[in-house]
Amino acid sequence: MSYIHQTKPFVVPTTDGKLIEEHFGRVANQQENISIARMIAPSGWSEPHQNPAFDEWTLVSKGKKLIEVDGEVIEISAGQSILITKGSRVRYSNPFEEACEYWSVCLPAFSIDTVNREE
């Protein structure tokens, strides 16, 4: 087949209220070279610092997201995007009142084993 029509993305189970719908990637279709996921981070959401072994592009479609990367704080809003290169120390959060909807593209594909989250 010359295409894959994704109609039922894999919903990643979370405990922090964040919605993750993986359209392509290690879990959705065993694709290791790239992952593409739609996410909704609720107001007040945050995750620990991490040092991923993959590049990650984030494209915000609604709301705002705060990103701490190598000691710098960056706010991105709907219509904006950012590339965080592998090996960066990064922390994502949504301290804003509105939920943030965004798309994440990871190259190679996201893996819990290579995200290297700090405890």
Q: Is the pLDDT reported for residue 119 higher than 90?
A: no
Which two three-digit tokens encode residue 53? 């072994």
What are the tens digits of pLDDT across the range 58-115? Answer: 999 999 999 999 999 999 999 999 999 999 999 999 999 999 999 999 999 999 999 9
Beta-carbon count within 10 A of 1 CB:
4
Q: What is the pLDDT of residue 22?
A: 97
Q: Is the pLDDT reported for residue 1 higher than 90?
A: no
Residues 87, 100: Cα–Cα separation, whole Å: 25
Q: What is the pLDDT of residue 95?
A: 98
Mean pLDDT for all residues in the chain: 96
Which two three-digit tokens encode residue 34? 């790239």
- pTM of the full structure: 0.94
Arithmetic mean of pLDDT, 37-46: 98
Instruction: Evaluate the CA torsion angle 29, 38, 49, 78 in order and state its sign.
Output: positive
Q: What is the pLDDT of residue 115?
A: 96
Q: What is the pLDDT of residue 86?
A: 97
Residues 74, 21: Cα–Cα separation, whole Å: 24
**φ, ψ for residue 29, nearest 5 deg:** -150, 25
**Cβ contact 104:54 at 8 Å:** no
- Encoded amino acid at 75, one letter: E
